[in-house]
Amino acid sequence: MNLIKYLGAMFAAATMTAVLPSCTNLDEITYDRIDASAYYQDENSVKGAVASIYASAQSGFLEYFWYLNEFPADQVTWRTWNGGAWGYDEAAKFVLSSQTWNSESVIIRQAWEHAWETIGLCNTLLGDLEKLNPASLGMSDSAMKQYIAEVRTMRAWAYYNNFELWGGTLPLCVAADGNVPGSADPDFNKSSQIIWQFMADELDGCYGDLIAEQGNPGTRNRLSQGMNRMLKMRLLLNSELWTGTARYEECKTLCEQIIAGDYGNYSIVSDYRDIYGINNETCPEVVFAFAMEAGHNTNNNRNTPFLPYNYDQMFGFSCDQSGWNCVCMVPSKDNTGTLVPYAGTSNPKSFIFDYGDKLGAPFDRMNNADIRKQPFKCDAGGNWRGIFAMGPQKDWNTGADVLADADLQDKPLIYVDQVGTFQNLGRQLEPVMSPRWGETNSGYRVIRYPIYPTSTGLDWRNADQVEFRLAEVYYTLAECYMRSGNPSMAKSYVNQVRGRYFGASDQKELEKPGPGFDTFDADWLLSEWGIEFLNEGRRRRTDLRRFDKFTQGQWWFFGRATETDRQLPAKRDRKYEWYPLPQAALMVNPGLVQNPNY
């Protein structure tokens, strides 16, 4: 994909036009761009143009959509530390973790501004490609149709990501003609139906022109029939939530077709590490992944938001991608018990077993026999295990204590599954505290993609960013069966995936619903969604919404902690099911209609 990346970067730089502002901003300046007839000379130039949408999507999808879908949910959180002073940033992201945003929130405006670039670029490319004569470029008609289908599928995916956040407030912008469309319809629900149908029709209208995966690793970095059908599957699964029309039977049929290989050959791998490791472009479970390359295409929101500035000591790897130390897992324990120096408390209460929560507590929610539930370790040969930074952190090279910063300056860094001010900095310690009041070691950290020591010659940033994988189809099919009143089949499909996380002697654990659950019911399934896709795919908020738990469910600090400037009730206002349009967008595009709940 190196040639495609290079050509894509050239094309993107040459063609960024007024399509983005035509959808969202009347005040932007329109710049001239290279004439299509001059640029498109052969298939390589078409390939470069299409590659530009991948670069745009990677940049646009992986940051702000992650913030808005994961931080308000029950698994990872943006937390501040050092007496509430570091990372607070005037509550820019705290409004997400606490579900207290409004139309003036900076993070909402920033997300909106990043939401339209890919759609605008796709509109421009479609306007160009559909006018070209393939034969004059030395191309076949089928090759041109494939490129056009990739662009249409990418535009539908970009719309899907926007729709998850803003629903029926969106404009339907599908042409690079300089027009400034307003919301698809003034009525939020009708507009939601219009946009949902547009996405469904786009996907159905082009999937046959896409490649079907046949075991060639290179195709996993391109939009394929399998990816297109999985995106349609997501639309069907969420149809009742978004349009009021349940389409679970249609979704079930599509899942069965994908698993049967109707749209490409995929399979569930026995070793989960194949999904995230350095050679994951060869993994048969991966349906689509963004191609990553250190120094060119990387994801700054992968691993490093969880890690401290000196994470090079923890993993024996050093690079120019710094740690943020602002993100941690939602804790499984409260702050009661006996204080332990630099390490929270001993014998705290469990949010699962003492509070009875069915949500949150992601670490304790995992079965103790699950092979992922252990500290991340990678040896000099590149062999790794576990997905968490937890407990005492040791220097990879020397074995000495890794030292903390800020409120635990020069003390041993010991990650705890708790969030609180154990040194009473900024606020006195309370049994349950919001993410406003953490310390530098608060919360376990997720290491989804392995960080290899420098001595291995492997750079973890070169592992591709997985966006669609076959396990999601199995879980979607399981949910369709659960909703049709067949929990035994739901359990069967989930266990076909999670069996790989248990050794031969622990397979009996598959007959147990897991910590906090007595039966294989809807609550159990929602939990399994979270365990399998922990901090992966920007999906947890939508999963919670589909089970009516996003604002109506209780976990961690909701209903238990207090803040002086905002309420944190056990059940939040349903207006937070959708995000508001930012006030700035309404000012520049009077045709947009605000979510009526705001």
pLDDT value of residue 28: 38
Please give the Cα distance from 384 to 431 (Å, whole number): 36
Indicate the CATH number for domain 1-76+102-186+567-598.
Answer: 1.25.40.390
- How far CA 531 is from CA of 68, 475, 535, in Å, comes to 19, 11, 9
Q: Which of 107-111, 343-347, 517-521, 536-540 is predicted least confidently?
A: 536-540
Tens of pLDDT, residue by residue over 268-313, are 999 999 999 999 999 999 999 999 988 777 777 788 999 999 999 9
Q: Which of 80-94, 153-167, 297-311, 367-381 is predicted least confidently?
A: 297-311
Please give the Cα distance from 477 to 258 (Å, whole number): 10
- The kind and range of the H/E element at 287 are strand 286-290
Residue 462: strand, helix, or coil = helix
Q: Are 183 and 169 in contact (CB under 8 A)?
A: yes
pLDDT value of residue 302: 85
pLDDT value of residue 34: 56
DSSP type of residue 67:
H
pLDDT value of residue 320: 85
Q: Are 473 and 231 in contact (CB under 8 A)?
A: no
Tens of pLDDT, residue by residue over 438-487, are 999 999 999 999 999 999 999 999 999 999 999 999 999 999 999 999 99
Taking residues 536-549, what's their average pLDDT? 94
Angle at 368 between CA 367 and CA 370, to 5 degrees: 70
**Percent of the chain scoring above 70 in pLDDT:** 94
What is the per-residue burial (b if ≥16 Cβ within 10 Å, else e) of 413-425? bbbbbbbbbbeeb
pLDDT value of residue 473: 98
pLDDT value of residue 12: 44
Residue 23, pLDDT > 80, answer no
Residue 6, pLDDT > 50, answer no
- How far CA 329 is from CA of 70, 73, 336, 413, in Å, comes to 11, 11, 19, 16
Q: Which of 488-497, 523-532, 534-543 is predicted least confidently?
A: 534-543
Nearest to 87 by CA among 285, 312, 296, 324: 324
pLDDT value of residue 242: 97
Both tokens of residue 241? 């939530």
DSSP type of residue 469:
E
Residue 378, pLDDT > 60, answer yes
Residue 219 pLDDT level (bands cut at 50, 70, 90) = confident
Q: Are 138 and 42 in contact (CB under 8 A)?
A: yes
pLDDT value of residue 178: 77
Residue 217 pLDDT level (bands cut at 50, 70, 90) = low
Average pLDDT, the chain: 92
Residue 180 pLDDT level (bands cut at 50, 70, 90) = confident
pLDDT value of residue 422: 97
Taking residues 147-168, what's their average pLDDT? 97
Ranges of beta strands (E only) in 464-588 are 465-469
Q: Could you give phi then psi for residue 430, rounded to 5 degrees?
A: -125, 160
What is the per-residue burial (b if ≥16 Cβ within 10 Å, else e) of 507-543? eebbeebbbbbeebebbbbbbbbbbbbbbbbbbbbbb
Instruction: Check: pTM over 0.85? Answer yes or no.
Output: yes
Give alpha helix (H) positions in 465-504.
Answer: 470-483, 487-498
Tens of pLDDT, residue by residue over 509-521, are 999 999 999 999 9
Taking residues 69-93, what's their average pLDDT? 94
Residue 468: strand, helix, or coil = strand
Taking residues 124-130, what's their average pLDDT? 94
